[in-house]
Amino acid sequence: MNQRWFHRRGDLARSGWESVVDAETPGWAHTGIHIAELTAGRVLPLPSGVESIVVPLAGSFSVTHTQDGETTVTPLAGRASVFSGPTDVLYVSVAATAEITGSGRVAVATSPTDVVKPTAHIAAADVPVELRGAGRSSRQVHNFGTPAALDAARLIVCEVLTPAENWSSYPPHKHDEHAPGHESRLEEIYYFEAAPVSGSRAPSDSAFGMFSTYSSPAGEIDINAMVRSGDIALVPYGYHGPAVAAPGYDLYYLNVMAGPDPERQWLISDDPAHAWVRDTWEGQSFDDRLPFTDDREVS
């Protein structure tokens, strides 16, 4: 079961991409992700029949997209690493065809749809940055692909940065039941990166965190994994969390969500056994290491 829902970097390689999750992935229907390492001169076509969000992880890129006979080239300034603050992103309409060039590491979040929304560029300066939790549960969230920030058909996308020794995706929660006003049904992809804390001499490939997912009434699932850069966890249902950054290593993950419900919204239910933890945050301050702004390189 763990092997079905958790994949190491490169295990899902296909068609020039380091990792691919899409409708061909067993048990998967509503979301997708493509990860690639690009070098100058290389061109990768983006998947078709889906709405997409192009997210530079490290480096800069250009996206050439064509819709209704008109071709546009949108540069993405990107960033030095996922720990360098928000990046500009490009939402690509399902009605467009597109290809990407550049140098660095890039993620493309996708969801199949026939609803046409306009292609949109979101500048880094316009990305809503949220500090969530408190104390050792403090984390930083970049909400560039949430309903409040982006007019998309189905996709809900954000990225979360967790300082060393902190917990995120906590309390464990689920979104696998359609309960209007209370909970929505959403598949979720976690794409991970980890790095030694800023100023550390530790090799980047030593960095890791921990991630758990466990069963709910919607289905049985069991992930308890040491996660490293490039790893992917799939959450079709079940309670997920915590994601824990090990001492000495900061943790990043990109969340891609979509589901079958008519409304595009993120509504969750905490595991009742652990929901009380939220009350302990009252009166605590955010971790003073946030927000992340450094320029370390992640590989």
Taking the C-alpha atoms of residue 154 and residue 186, their distance in angstroms, rounded to an integer, is 10
Partners of 253 in beta bridges? 160, 192
Average pLDDT, stretch 141-167? 98
What pLDDT band is residue 259 in, cutting at 50, 70 and 90?
Answer: very high
Q: Which of 2-16, 143-157, 210-224, 236-250 comes out lowest in average pLDDT? A: 2-16
Map tokens 């819709």 to a residue.
67
Spatial strand order in the sheet of 156-162: 6-7, 232-235, 187-196, 249-258, 156-162, 139-145, 129-132
Q: What is the 3-state secondary structure (H, E, C) of 55-100?
A: EEEEEEEEEEEEECCEEEEEEEEEECCCCCCCCCEEEECCCCEEEE
85-112 pLDDT, tens per residue?
999 999 999 999 999 999 999 999 999 9
Is the confidence at residue 187, as pLDDT, over 60?
A: yes
Q: Tell me: the pLDDT tens digits for 43-52?
A: 999 999 999 9
Q: What percent of the chain has pLDDT over 90?
A: 95
pLDDT band at 293 (very low <50, low <70, confident <90, very high): confident
* pLDDT score for 1: 52
- Cβ partners under 8 Å of residue 199, min gap 6: none
Mean pLDDT of 1-24: 92
Residue 2 banded pLDDT, cuts 50, 70, 90: low
* DSSP letters spanning the chain: -HHHHEE-TTTT-BTTBSEEESTTSTT--S-EEEEEEE-TT--EEPPSSEEEEEEEEEEEEEEEEEETTEEEEEEEEEESSTTS----EEEE-TT-EEEEEEEEEEEEEEEE-S-----EEE-GGGS-EEEES-GGG-EEEEEEESTTT---SS-EEEEEEE-TT-EES-S-EE-EEEETTTEEE-EEEEEEEEEEPTT--S-GGG--EEEEEEEETTEEEEEEEEE-TT-EEEESSSEEEEEEEPTTEEEEEEEEEE-SSSS-----EE-TTTGGGGGGGTTPPPPTTPSP-------
Tell me how far apart the alpha carbons of residues 87 and 82 are, in angstroms, rounded to a whole number. Answer: 8
pLDDT reported for residue 299? 47
The CATH code that applies to domain 2-278 is: 2.60.120.10
Angle (CA) 221-167-225 rounded to 5° is 35
How open is the CA angle 54-183-132, to the nearest 5 degrees?
60
